[in-house]
Amino acid sequence: MNRYRQDRGGGSRRDQHGDRRETRGGPQRHRNAKGRERSGSRGRGGPRRGFSRQRPGERRRESTPSRRAAFEAMQAVALDDAYANLVLPSILRRHRVDARDAAFTTELFYGALRAQGRLDTVIAACVDRPLDQIETAVLNVLRLGAYQMLDMNVAPHAAASETVGLARDVTGAGAAGFVNAVLRRISEKSAQEWIQEVAPTREENEAAHLAVVHSHPEWIVRALTDALRIHGRSAAEIDDLLTAHNTAPQIDLVMRPGLTDEDELADAGAEKGRWSVFGMGWPGGDPGRIPAVNEGRAAVQDEGSQMVALALALGADSLVEGDTGRWLDLCAGPGGKTALLAGLSVEQGAEVLAVEVQEHRTGLVEKSVATLVDAGAEVDCITADGTTIGTDRPGEFSRILADVPCSGLGALRRRPESRWRRQPGDLAQLGRLQRSLLASALDAAAPGGVIAYVTCSPHAAETVLIVKDVLRRRDDAEVVDARDAVQAGLRADVGDAHLGDGPFVQLWPHIHGTDAMFLALIKKKA
């Protein structure tokens, strides 16, 4: 028996009695009310086809390129651990999806990834088996169909028809019937009605309720709620924060220092940035068509990333004592922050050492700084272990950026797959690496030098607790207030930047419209 048959509801529709009946002369012909055999085709000629054996939603045999592309991207993320932002463009090109349909595919793919937890909860309520017993391809088809029905402006019948066609195309007829039956059940309720049915109330279990409503793992909801409190904000902001994670981020541009300016980018269609003195906004479309971006004089970079790099490159001027003229980017890949440091190092007459542990990422750093090197910046990119730099080159650098590997919980709006991949146990392993890298940075710092400890995560176990744990074991360094340093890299017309009470700075998607970057400035005692 087909493994999906039991969930189709109503069984086979081969004839009005159920299974197809046989006679001596072969299969029985279907007849109309007057006893005449029904013609297989209207008009003259054509083969006899009898009655359709499929429901209307099952008859489409080919999926649209836009939906097929979304499905293949979902599969790559699920089966190959692909990154959403890297895998989709090549799939769109392979299927030759035009610009209008590409926008639909992008919304469908990223939206279904963000909503995956909530969609799975709804799907689970409509099937009679655990989701881990459903093939990944079938489950991804169901997610795409459910997202169109519940979250996009796609008519339920159209969403069902197209999704069943996709199922038939990529998984076969049996799965198509299963998909059709499940989608019919999903279409019976709105998204809000499903939430009311499958989610616990906020009073019963707030974290579990928010996990379904905003489609985040429950442990992340709890961790982010705690992070808000630890960084001096109200836990009541958790709804706004989770909502921001489910909103596509604006594209931010960064001007490479000395290589372009606001006027050039504005002429190309860019808009004034919100925070960074080197930041611009891009309203939509491919920023690669901007000449300055294509030539490496500007790049795509979140303004939060710009702000923490500028805090070290511009804001630490008054903090550094006994400048050695040597700067270090300890975890440089892929090179966006390195490029900002490189551009600003020229005015300071400084040299930059960019360290990356993975050779292919070292290549990305070299590519990011190439135009700046051509313009006179002195940057040396090497492949090395950042945890040993402090031992290999002690007391050498007056400014050090330690943008350490982290859980990425601060960039969930940009990397929706991360919320489903990360597990609480990851933090312990990351924490050991983060401590080692910060200790190495402190050893590599010259007396009077400044270290910027940066993560793209607001989780306390990766931010405040790491800094406090490392510093309590040594007496040669101290935390300094990072707020004035961040302010030094902001536009002159920025009012209250909502930088908190110090000494640390934590940015937030729902407050700043940036990734949730954390910054601690630490000074090595002179």
DSSP 338-390: HHHHHHHHHHHT-EEEEEESSHHHHHHHHHHHHHHHHTT-EEEEEE--GGGHH
Burial 111-122 (b: 16+ CB within 10 A, else e): bbbbbbbbbbbb
Q: Is 335 annotated as contributing to ligand binding?
A: yes
CA 278/CA 255 separation, integer angstroms: 5
DSSP 83: -
Q: Where are the alpha helices (DSSP H) in 36-155?
A: 65-80, 84-94, 99-114, 116-124, 136-151
Helix (H) or strand (E) holding 477: strand 477-480
Q: Is 439 annotated as contributing to ligand binding?
A: no
Q: Is 273 annotated as contributing to ligand binding?
A: no
DSSP 288-323: GGSHHHHTTSEEE--HHHHHHHHHHHTTTTTT--S-
Q: Is 381 a catalytic residue?
A: no
Residue 396 amino acid letter:
E
Paired with 281 in beta bridges are: 252, 271
CA 297/CA 317 separation, integer angstroms: 25
- Per the rule left: phi > 0, alpha: psi between -120 and 50, beta: everything else, 188 is alpha
Catalytic residue among 126, 381, 406, 456: 456
CA 431/CA 461 separation, integer angstroms: 7
Q: Is 385 annotated as contributing to ligand binding?
A: yes
Q: Is 331 annotated as contributing to ligand binding?
A: yes
> Rg (Cα) of the chain, in Å, rounded?
28
Residues 6+ positions from 522 with CB-CB distance below 8 Å: 438, 442, 450, 451, 453, 467, 471, 477, 478, 479, 480
At residue 186, the 3 state secondary structure works out as helix
Q: Is 34 annotated as contributing to ligand binding?
A: no
CA 330/CA 404 separation, integer angstroms: 8
Q: Is 500 annotated as contributing to ligand binding?
A: no
Burial of 198 (0-12, 13-18, 19+ CB in 10 A): middle
Q: Is 336 annotated as contributing to ligand binding?
A: yes
CB 521 within 8 A of CB 445: no
Q: Is 475 annotated as contributing to ligand binding?
A: no
Q: Is 56 annotated as contributing to ligand binding?
A: no
CA 300/CA 302 separation, integer angstroms: 7
Query: Position of tokens 């932002």?
Result: 85
Written as six digits, the tokens of 199 are 């989610």
**Active centre residues (catalytic):** 456
Q: Which residues make up each annotated binding site for S-adenosyl-L-methionine?
A: 331-337, 356, 385, 403
Q: Which residues are annotated as a binding site?
A: 331-337, 356, 385, 403
